[in-house]
Structure 1
Amino acid sequence: MFGRISAYKCVLASILGIMRRFLVWPSKLIWPGNLPYIALFRTLHEKDAVDHMVLPSRWSISRLQFFIIICFIETIYHWLPGYIMPILTAFSWMCLINPKNIILSQLTGHYGLGMGSFQFDWKLLTSYLGSPIITPRWAQANILIGFVLFSWIIIPIFYYTNLWNSKTLPIATFDTVLVDTGNNFVLHASTGTILFYGMYFASLSSILIHTVLYHGRDIIKQFRTSLYRRDNDIHCKLMSKYPEVPEWWYGSVFILSFTCACIVMHLGHFMKWYFVCAGVGVALVYILPTGILAAKTNQILNIKAIGYIIGAVAISDNPIGFLTFKTFVIQTQIQALTLILYLKLSHFMKIPPRALFSTVVIGTSVSVLTSYAMADYFLNNIKDICVNNVNWTCPHTTHSWVSVDSLWGENILSSQTAFIPPTGIYSSMLWFFLIGALLPIPFWLLNEKYWHRIKWLKHVHFPLIFFVGSLIPTMAAGTVPTWLFIGFFFSTVIHKWWWNRYGLLFSSGMDIGVAIATIIIYFSFINRNISFSEWWGIGGPHNDGCPLSQSPLVPSY
């Protein structure tokens, strides 16, 4: 396990050298996730004079004062959703009218389709889509379209028409069940799970075509230029004063880490060494398009489905190899994009590139070696760890990911995978690859012809629309309406001067307030197994006061 982690962490460090000219240097790619940190750093380290020309004197307040106030208020408030009144994390007021009505529960429950549900917990609100304050308004519009289309229109149609016998499972959750047909067992998946993969397939093909059409010219331009030739970018101009990291540094790290990864895969009997080539190749193909998406919208499109497909076809007879390959693909992409995010932060904050390179390489090496040594020591020296030792338990895989792996991994009882043709019962979902690839083309052609008359055409983003549709089973649907409302409020209703001065600090203050409250609650109560008394504010088993939101309409299994 930790050998795999060490291998892909080293490989991804070398990928940064290739992608920095495309994802770090361009001024158009701002990586919104960095903005709250930059605002916080400036607030803590720069002198801030109150602008009396903009703010009336009685409302005058410095940025530091505003940050402290928001942080303090959120620290106090988070005790409600975080411990005292969990129903605020999933407030389904419409379902509370008649919680015993299963259809009403499925439609309005926070963990159903979330119609009329609200989210009053900042921690859970930002856990999937990030802070709504830093997401551009055009991206919010695409998220709205994707959410309404797939969560409130397509899923109910598929479910209540009983397509794929879907009424026997919950409407919008990851659920699978093995059905005994007499001769063998057939894997049956919920509507949310099936459409999750359909939307994921569409987003994976759509983002490649979208990147080529909308960003192809810029990519070619970035390939032919360097940091020193970007005179119109003040950040690049200032960063060019530092010695740049030579390309051969990154190349050397890649050769060394790739060799080590192959050795680890072979000696550890995880999978054949040449699957490392496939994993790195897939990551290289998708890091650029998914990086552009993240740099513009703060949304990361995970490529886990590619790992599942290749693993299911090529190494389905080796469960360890299957899990190793998909982990290699997923973590290489996610951690590479995370480090590119930090590279952009250092670009804004003017940190010398060679100092950052040394810090990343040394920090990664120390962390993986330390993690491996600790894990190896615990597993070999603590009796019954992860089995019967109540003092040393291990995190269990969530039900959703068990369902995912059972859909793709070789199933001993049925000897088939659900999405792989010709025997896969859901193999028709693979057509979404074609749908996702074709849809961006007509809108790009319209934009090329009518861009000066129809301004909104350039903001149509099918990869983002499909991406949101694929999030519904993993993310509670009731989170999205509140997320969109807050995003619209800050980007449209709040005056521009307020957002520029305080909006980003509001996001940072909320994050830090939640972190402080969570630490206090954990060590004061959760760690001591002290739970709050049972009352209406607990919200039942799902915290939404809607106990039937995850129940099937026809409980046949």
Structure 2
Amino acid sequence: MHEAHPADKAAAADLEKRLDFTPEEVERYNSPYEVVRVTVSTKDDPTLPTLTFRFWVLGIFFNCVLAFVNQFFWYRATPLTVTGLVAQLLSYPLGSAMARILPDKRVNLGLFSFSLNPGPFNVKEHVLITVCATAGASTAYAVDIVAIKRVFYGSDLGFGPSLLLILTTQCLGYGLAGMCRRFLVRPSAMIWPAQLVNVTLFRTLHEEEEGDKSHMSRIRFFVIVAGCSFAYYFLPGYLASFLSTISLLCYFAPRNRVANLIGSGNRGLGLLSFSLDWNYITGFLGTPLAVPLWAQANIFVGFLLILYVLIPIGYFSNIWDAQKYPIFDSDLYRENGDVYDTMAILDENLLLDETKYAAEGQLRLSYFFAITYGIGFAALSSVISHTILYHGKEIVQRFREARSSDDDIHARLMDRYPEVPDWWYIAMFVTNTIVAIIVCELFGIDLPWWGLLLAVAMSVFFIVPIGIITAVTNQMPGLNIITELVIGFILPGRAIANVTFKTYGYITMVQGLNLVSDLKLGHYMKIPPRHMFIAQTIGTMLAGLINLATSYLMFYLIPGICNENNKVWSCDSTRVFYSASVIWGAIGPNRMFGSEGYYSALNWWFLIGFLAPIPFWLLTRRFPNVKWLKYIHTPVLIGGTAIMPPAKAGMYTTWIIIGFISQFIVYRYRRELWSRFNYVLSAAMDSGVAIAGLIIFFAFQYWEFEVDWWGNQPDCPHFKEVAGPILAS
């Protein structure tokens, strides 16, 4: 337990007996940061029940629904992610209804007993429901290892080992959270800006919704929009798929090569392409309604520079024989333009066979796909230099404050609740590490025990500094490229070992910081830390099980899943993951980007990215009164298109337009409506599309009921015949 400041021991002891601070104490101990002072309540009621019957029912229900729906849609050509915001909104009326309907009856189960209805539905159990549910909102990263091993490498890992792989990758980081929570949760200097948005919504729902009758309620608005979204999605989702991508240049010049190359929203550069399909717009990019205008502006500029300057110059100049391959593609090719046969270069243990590799030849990528790796290199290095230049002093100051500053009011209020014992975290870390070693050594993962420990060591090394950066700037640099690079040089020729190392090295840190972030939410909302730990852990383990079970169900139900010719279930994200396993693992970074590599010039992008923030930083110093200069964010500008592929060019154009309408027009001229309904609108659109998508699959697509008419033609139907690769003679 963190000890109170010596000068305030009497106040701390007295605090245990009271629910609130006096106004003088609030002023004395309140957070030194204004954004926290105006957002987070300084009051707490420790008598409110938390791990209630309502929590278990609603938390597990929404966790299962989100985990199933999001994994189900993950394999679509355009995936859909139903966010935790849906659970956050819907659990409020459901919890309130349970409080009204359920009897006040105590149930005894052996050593345990609980009340069906411990009183009014309160904000603390609402937070725990949302935390548990949100653990299922993101598909487990390791599921793609299972998928590519089964679909592309023809070797099923098995359900049991797959489950252990998923659970350890998802939960190992929670053990790491224990070592850094004292640095990243308790200090007031560690703000975690993203959680302040959640705090605002929770407080709004519980403090204002019932008393405000002058506006339509958020729940009613949610139901209406979700119903409209549900009804409409039958058009782009089944009856008129052309609405997903409307490429005007292809309509104007359907057989013109250049018009198809630069105009196709799915297979080209998306010029004058747009979409009327919410799922298509948000599938890879997420909702544009939640991205600040400054970030959208940076993404838009980066999109223009890369899609309409860099790519056309490289492609039409035939750099790296670009015109032998598609202009926009993530597949792998031989030098002559044929599809690369990865299995032809591997032995029976899925290891690189040098003789077979020499016969197959060097791997080639489309110009666009190769450039995306350069973009990734530049984005990574630009995060480092941008953070040093723009936030270096602030981070150092915050770190010093975190070590030396007095506890603020929120830390003092949290002293009422017992902290998670260190041995919980140690047990979580040690158990998952041991199980992970067993999985890697015994079940064909091909990652030796020391490789697993090296991956975990990288997460241990980076979790605190990256956690501080995230807590201060709301930007989380990823370790995916670094982990691929490190193990690719150490263990070349091992595809599955590479992606497994990347997962344990990258996701372990991400999951640890996810728990730390949620602990900070609990810190702001005054939730017992042990209950936050329980909600997050149970939600994560249950979601991992459902993710895997759903994947196996999809493999069984859909013949030819992940085949590039399957227009609905082409698994674009999983295909990119597979390509990365070949590039970084089976062949290795040295043969691709190193001294032996055909694409070694891309290493200069590390330097380009590192230097890119410097001129803009100098301009902000030279012209401090020019406001728009401070919004130039080089990592976002460079990395805005890093998700392409699998994201398509046509997605960006409409995404940016909708974001501008939300974040500029509505925000500026209808601020009250924006504050009340903006995020609800996003969640309702997601929910309507998800329900309609499930019905469309099980009622029509599974039984192969197709509607054959021109409105269901693919984007730019003549693309292959007029805009395909120009093969060498």
* TM-score interval, smaller chain: 0.7 to 0.9
Task: Report if the CA contact (8 A) 1:139-1:297 is conserved.
Answer: no
Task: Report if the CA contact (8 A) 1:103-1:553 is conserved.
Answer: no
Is 1:497 the equivalent of 2:672?
Answer: yes
* Residue correspondence of structure 1 range 31-110 to structure 2 within 5 A: 31=194, 35=198, 38=201, 42=205, 46-51=209-214, 60-110=215-265
Task: Report if the CA contact (8 A) 2:562-2:575 is conserved.
Answer: no
Task: Report if the CA contact (8 A) 2:336-2:728 is conserved.
Answer: no
TM-score by length of 2: 0.64
Tell me the residue number matched to 1:484: 656
Task: Label 1:36 to 1:222 Cα distance change in 2 as closer, same or farther (>3 A).
Answer: closer
> Shift of residue 202 of structure 1?
0.7
Q: Give the 3-state SS of the residue equivalent to 2:428 in structure 1.
A: helix
Tell me the residue number matched to 2:69: none
1:399-427 CA deviation, whole Å, 9 max, x = no partner? 4444333322334xxx9854232111001
Task: Label 1:92 to 1:237 Cα distance change in 2 as closer, same or farther (>3 A).
Answer: farther
Q: What amino acid maps onto 1:17 in structure 2?
A: G
> Shift of residue 511 of structure 1?
1.4
Out of 389, 392, 396, the position equivalent to 1:213 is: 389
Q: What amino acid maps onto 2:275 in structure 1?
A: Q
Q: Give the 3-state SS of the residue equivalent to 2:656 in structure 1.
A: helix
Task: Report if the CA contact (8 A) 1:105-1:548 is conserved.
Answer: no
Q: What amino acid maps onto 2:635 in structure 1?
A: P
Q: Give the 3-state SS of the residue equivalent to 1:81 in structure 2.
A: helix
Out of 203, 211, 214, the position equivalent to 2:379 is: 203
Tell me the residue number matched to 2:689: 514
Is 1:245 the equivalent of 2:420?
Answer: yes
Task: Label 1:553 to 1:69 Cα distance change in 2 as closer, same or farther (>3 A).
Answer: same
How many Å separate the matches in 2 of 1:77 and 1:295?
A: 40
TM-score by length of 1: 0.82
Tell me the residue number matched to 1:462: 634
> Shift of residue 297 of structure 1?
9.4
Task: Label 1:354 to 1:143 Cα distance change in 2 as closer, same or farther (>3 A).
Answer: same
Q: Give the 3-state SS of the residue equivalent to 2:328 in structure 1.
A: coil
Task: Report if the CA contact (8 A) 2:185-2:523 is conserved.
Answer: no
Task: Report if the CA contact (8 A) 2:233-2:277 is conserved.
Answer: yes
Unmatched 5+ residue regions in structure 1?
52-59, 380-384
How many Å separate the matches in 1 of 2:206 and 2:382?
A: 40
* Residue correspondence of structure 1 range 150-165 to structure 2 within 5 A: 150-165=306-321
Tell me the residue number matched to 2:328: 172
How many Å separate the matches in 1 of 2:396 and 2:618?
A: 20
Task: Report if the CA contact (8 A) 1:8-1:328 is conserved.
Answer: yes
Q: Give the 3-state SS of the residue equivalent to 1:478 in structure 2.
A: helix
Unmatched 5+ residue regions in structure 2?
1-161, 338-357, 564-570
Task: Report if the CA contact (8 A) 2:190-2:398 is conserved.
Answer: no
How many Å separate the matches in 1 of 2:469 and 2:270?
A: 26
Aligned pairs, how many? 531
Out of 278, 294, 298, the position equivalent to 1:122 is: 278
Out of 290, 293, 299, the position equivalent to 1:143 is: 299
How many Å separate the matches in 2 of 1:123 and 1:293?
A: 32
Q: Give the 3-state SS of the residue equivalent to 2:290 in structure 1.
A: coil
Out of 583, 586, 589, the position equivalent to 1:410 is: 586
CA-based RMSD of the aligned residues comes to 3.9
Tell me the residue number matched to 2:112: none
Task: Label 1:315 to 1:330 Cα distance change in 2 as closer, same or farther (>3 A).
Answer: same
Task: Report if the CA contact (8 A) 1:34-1:341 is conserved.
Answer: no
Tell me the residue number matched to 2:192: 29
Out of 615, 623, 647, the position equivalent to 1:475 is: 647
> Shift of residue 276 of structure 1?
2.2
Q: What amino acid maps onto 1:219 in structure 2?
A: I
Is 1:430 the equivalent of 2:603?
Answer: yes
How many Å separate the matches in 1 of 2:393 and 2:423?
A: 27
> Shift of residue 501 of structure 1?
1.4
> Shift of residue 443 of structure 1?
2.9
Q: What amino acid maps onto 1:535 in structure 2?
A: W
Q: What amino acid maps onto 2:257 in structure 1?
A: I
1:334-378 CA deviation, whole Å, 9 max, x = no partner? 544554555455456543321011233344456667988x79xx9
Task: Report if the CA contact (8 A) 1:89-1:544 is conserved.
Answer: no
1:60-88 CA deviation, whole Å, 9 max, x = no partner? 53333322221111111111111111111
How many Å separate the matches in 1 of 2:271 and 2:525?
A: 42
Tell me the residue number matched to 2:616: 443
1:154-211 CA deviation, whole Å, 9 max, x = no partner? 0110000111110111112213211369976122211111100000011112112222
Tell me the residue number matched to 1:356: 532
How many Å separate the matches in 2 of 1:214 and 1:197?
A: 25
Is 1:537 the equivalent of 2:692?
Answer: no
Tell me the residue number matched to 2:700: 525
Which piece of structure 1 moves more, 262-271 or 61-70? 262-271
Is 1:274 the equivalent of 2:450?
Answer: yes
Tell me the residue number matched to 1:54: none
1:11-46 CA deviation, whole Å, 9 max, x = no partner? 211233355554896675332796599479928994
Which piece of structure 1 moves more, 72-81 or 351-360? 351-360
> Shift of residue 458 of structure 1?
2.7
Instruction: Give the number of the structure with larger relative contact order, counting CA–CA contacts within 8 Å between residues 6 or more apart.
Output: 1
> Shift of residue 212 of structure 1?
3.0
> Shift of residue 496 of structure 1?
1.2
Which piece of structure 1 moves more, 209-218 or 282-291? 282-291
Task: Report if the CA contact (8 A) 1:207-1:289 is conserved.
Answer: no
Out of 189, 199, 202, the position equivalent to 2:365 is: 189
